[in-house]
Structure 1
Amino acid sequence: MTTAEEYVDFAERQARGSSPAYERLAREVAGDDELLALLDRVPPPKRQPNLLFGVVRLLDGPVGDYKAFRTFVIDRWAAVEPELRRRATQTNEIGRSALLLPVLAALPQPLALLEVGASAGLNLYPDRYSYDYNGTRVGTSGPVLPCSLRGRTPPAALPEVVWRAGIDLNPLDITDPDDRAWLEALIWPEHDDRRERLRAAAEIAAADPPHLVRGDLVEELPALAASAPPGATLVVFHTSVLYQVPPDVRAAFVALVGSLPGHWLAAEGPEIVGLDEHPADGLHKNVLCLDGKPLAWTHAHGRSAHFF
């Protein structure tokens, strides 16, 4: 896929109906030869729309008007390019906890949670948030995460989590102002509800910081998984992570995680999990899988989970 095609795909399948500002920007970038030439100077993973738009927002650039956005990127390319190269789309969207909760609550309790691609580890606290599934409330504290749930009854109670840890190439410290600013910059401009939830989740994590290990997901996983407490059900999970992992490393991870005790819970794009189909509405959706078995179509930010 060319850079232009990637931006068209983002506009059509991800931003459409969710972020008018990003949809407009992505369509304009796709037809802008000068901007595309600049983007093609950086490695392919660093050209993605979410990353570019997040970097511009981090640098206090405009995203509401394309002319102003274009001028900012070109004039400030000396600042934009190094940020693209050093940053990654570490969107720590806690709304995804609403997708995982029905499965987590149904597993043998208590749980030991190990998140791969953990960012700042905010999805390691599913037991500290509240949920609204079609008007049914689960939980009584923390930010409320709304989710349209089909094909599955909302869980009767929150899971019991006795251990939580994560792995990331560049784990973020939720108490660090720069890391916190990057997480906020990754939230799409119209999504004030997500921004408020991030801030509430940040307070929870700052009061009880997760154990985050810096390193490669394949190299670090065995030792960290082995440190989970005996008697707890180990759940290795990740959401919208593997698309950023090279295919050979991804294959090694899948083989490794399948050999571990406990369960493997993932929400990734259908092409990542080997599902040769897409939702009927044409929008981008992830597939929620347990131990490699597809369970549901899920919204990337956690707004819906439609079980098969």
Structure 2
Amino acid sequence: MDTAEMYRRFARQEVRGLSPAYEEVARAVAAGPELVGLIDTLPPAKRQPNLLLAAAGFLGGPRDDAARLPRWCVRHWDALRETILTHRTQTNEAGRCASLLPVLASLPQPLALIEAGASAGLCLYPDRYRYRYDDLPPVGPADGPVVLTCRTNGRVPVPERVPEVVWRAGVDLDPVDVRDDEALRWLECLVWPGQDDRLERLRGAARMAREDPPLLVRGDATEALPELVARAPRGATVVVFHSAVLPYLDAEARDRFVATVKSLPVRWVSNEGSPRLPAVLARLARPLPEDRLAFLPALDGEPLAMAGPHGEWLEWLA
């Protein structure tokens, strides 16, 4: 799709009903040919709405003001372009653990977790958070740094306890150190305006991770995974998982990544937007919702559920 349509789609399918400010701003960007023309000078992977709008917020721009933002971007384009080119969309949404928890809890325990595209590694702590699924009794430690709430539909196998994690590691092209205040400020700018609960969740998870930082390796996941898997402790079920990573890989790189994971002695848990793993999408027995973006939590390539991009809802397929 062209750039203007990318921003209209972002408004229509991703932020509608979740961030009214971003919905209006994205439509305003799409309607401004001068700004769209500037965005088109960026490499294709750098044209994404969340990256542009986060960069504007990082520089102090009015990212929640549809009337002012397009003009501000044009006036400050050089600085904005530099920020876009030197940063990545590394949304580290701990809420996605609510989508992953039923899958992880179903595997033989204990677990050794390896996250591809880990950002700051906040999703490497599914055993540290507290979960509330609908009106069911909460799951997880009472003193967890945040409470993750999730609406469910279908026969979601909500576990009675969190999984036992004995080792955790992540790989990222540019890992985020939560002990770095400026790096954490960038993660905060990736949270959409008006989503104060997500912002507080990020801050709570980051405070916890600062006390016990995860092992994060800089590099390409496809190349780094074999060595990380070899470092995992014996006797643990090694799980390679990822969420919202595949949009940043082209088809060839995605296929190499999937082939690598399948060749390793691991369980593979994916949580990606529906178009990103065609083989998983092809196994769905029911159509995807047309009015909202759905992720597909899957185990070893078999889809188990549909989920909200930030773990806000979970619909089991079986």
TM beyond 0.5: yes
What are the Cα deviations for residues 246-265 of structure 1, in whole angstroms up to 9, with x where unaligned?
21111011011011112000
SS at match of 2:166: strand
Are 2:142 and 1:138 aligned?
no
What are the Cα deviations for residues 206-241 of structure 1, in whole angstroms up to 9, with x where unaligned?
111100000011111100111000000000000000
Moved over 3 A (4+): none
Are 2:247 and 1:247 aligned?
no
Are 2:195 and 1:191 aligned?
yes
The residue aligned with 2:43 is 43
Are 2:211 and 1:207 aligned?
yes
Q: Residues 4-153 of structure 1 correspond to what in structure 2 (within 5 A)?
A: 4-136=4-136, 137-139=138-140, 140-142=142-144, 143-150=146-153, 151-153=155-157
Please, which runs of 5 or more residues in structure 1 have no aligned partner?
A: none
Q: Percent identity?
A: 50
Q: Residues 172-187 of structure 1 correspond to what in structure 2 (within 5 A)?
A: 172-187=176-191
- How many Å apart are 1:149 and its aligned residue? 2.1
Contact 2:21 2:66 in 1 (8 A): no
What are the Cα deviations for residues 134-169 of structure 1, in whole angstroms up to 9, with x where unaligned?
122101222000011222131010100000000000
The residue aligned with 1:282 is 291
Q: Distance in 1 between matches of 2:256 and 2:91?
A: 24
When the two structures are superposed, what TM-score results if normalisation uses the length of structure 2?
0.95
What are the Cα deviations for residues 111-148 of structure 1, in whole angstroms up to 9, with x where unaligned?
00000000000000010000000122101222000011
Q: Distance in 2 between matches of 1:272 and 1:65?
A: 31
Are 2:170 and 1:166 aligned?
yes
SS at match of 2:89: coil
Q: Distance in 2 between matches of 1:72 and 1:190?
A: 20
- How many Å apart are 1:281 and its aligned residue? 4.3
**What do you get for the CA RMSD once the two structures are aligned?**
1.1
| Pairing partner for 2:304 from 285, 295, 307 | 295
Larger deviation: 57-66 or 226-235? 57-66
Q: Distance in 2 between matches of 1:193 and 1:165?
A: 26
Q: How many residues are treated as equivalent by the alignment?
A: 308
AA aligned to 1:294 is P
